[in-house]
């Protein structure tokens, strides 16, 4: 049995959405009339059971399409983000390599500058040494000797005196006799300290003692 109802009531009776009702009206799957600017639909009570599978199928297709569209949109957004990240990483890698190259180049330049300055300093040092070395040596030669230097150079050791005398074929006994006589006769080249019992011998050629 058919009933004339509004599209909203038809949707409730058939278990469809308003879009589903209008879709069926458009496809002439539902009879409809217009009164006072409103659309009314003839609904067969028995049609409810028949339309339920159709509704389910249509809505399932629609839902699947929506899900597919949403999934595709999400995938597209993710792909765009991945592509953007890849480009960003590629740019950062390029910048990193460029920075390393720049630092290495600067380091080489700094080392070259340091080596050049070291060579200049060495050259300047050698030049200054060649200029002032003769002058320094001359000053050392002409510089007056200190009292300590004089003493160390003016005196010889007793054993050195023995060595000197032996060169002239003097025996140890002869050398001791020479020293004894020199001290006894007041030879100023032989200074004997009775307290310390030490003998100092002034440096000389000792020609008179040979």
Burial annotation 26-63 (CB, 10 A radius, 16+ → b, else e): eeeebebeeeeeeebbebbeebeeebeeebeebeeeee
Q: Evaluate if residue 104 carries a pLDDT over 90.
A: no
pLDDT given for residue 50 in this prediction: 46
Q: Evaluate if residue 146 carries a pLDDT over 60.
A: no
Of the pLDDT bands very low, low, confident and very high (cuts 50, 70, 90), residue 159 is very high
Q: Which residues on adjacent β-strands are paired with residue 156?
A: 201
The answer to whether 11 touches 18, Cβ cutoff 8 Å, is yes
pLDDT given for residue 180 in this prediction: 94
- pTM score above 0.85: no
Structure tokens at 62: 């629609």
Contacts of 198 (CB under 8 A, 6+ apart): 192
Q: Evaluate if residue 174 carries a pLDDT over 90.
A: yes
Least trusted range by pLDDT, from 31-35, 111-115, 146-150: 146-150
pLDDT given for residue 37 in this prediction: 85
Higher-pLDDT residue of 204 and 135 is 204
16-65 pLDDT tens trace: 899 999 999 999 888 899 888 889 988 876 655 444 455 455 556 656 77
């Amino acid at each position: 049995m058919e009933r004339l109802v509004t599209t909203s009531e038809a949707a409730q009776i058939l278990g469809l959405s308003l879009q589903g009702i209008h879709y069926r009206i458009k496809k002439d799957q539902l009879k409809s009339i217009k009164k006072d600017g409103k659309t009314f639909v003839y609904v067969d009570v028995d049609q409810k059971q028949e339309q339920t599978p159709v509704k389910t199928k249509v809505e399932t297709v629609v839902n699947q399409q929506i899900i597919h569209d949403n999934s595709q949109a999400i995938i597209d957004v993710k792909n765009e983000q991945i592509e953007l990240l890849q480009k960003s990483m590629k740019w950062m890698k390029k910048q990193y390599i460029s920075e390393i190259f720049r630092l290495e180049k600067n380091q080489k330049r700094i080392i070259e500058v340091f080596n050049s300055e070291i060579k200049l300093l060495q050259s300047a040092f050698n030049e200054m040494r060649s200029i002032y070395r003769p002058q320094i040596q001359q000053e050392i030669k002409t510089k007056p000797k200190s009292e300590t230097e004089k003493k160390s150079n003016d005196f010889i050791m007793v054993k050195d005196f023995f060595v000197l005398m032996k060169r002239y074929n003097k025996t140890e006994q002869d050398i001791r006799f020479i020293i004894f006589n020199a001290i006894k006769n007041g030879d100023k080249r032989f200074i004997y300290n009775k307290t310390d019992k030490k003998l100092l011998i002034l440096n000389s050629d000792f020609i008179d003692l040979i």
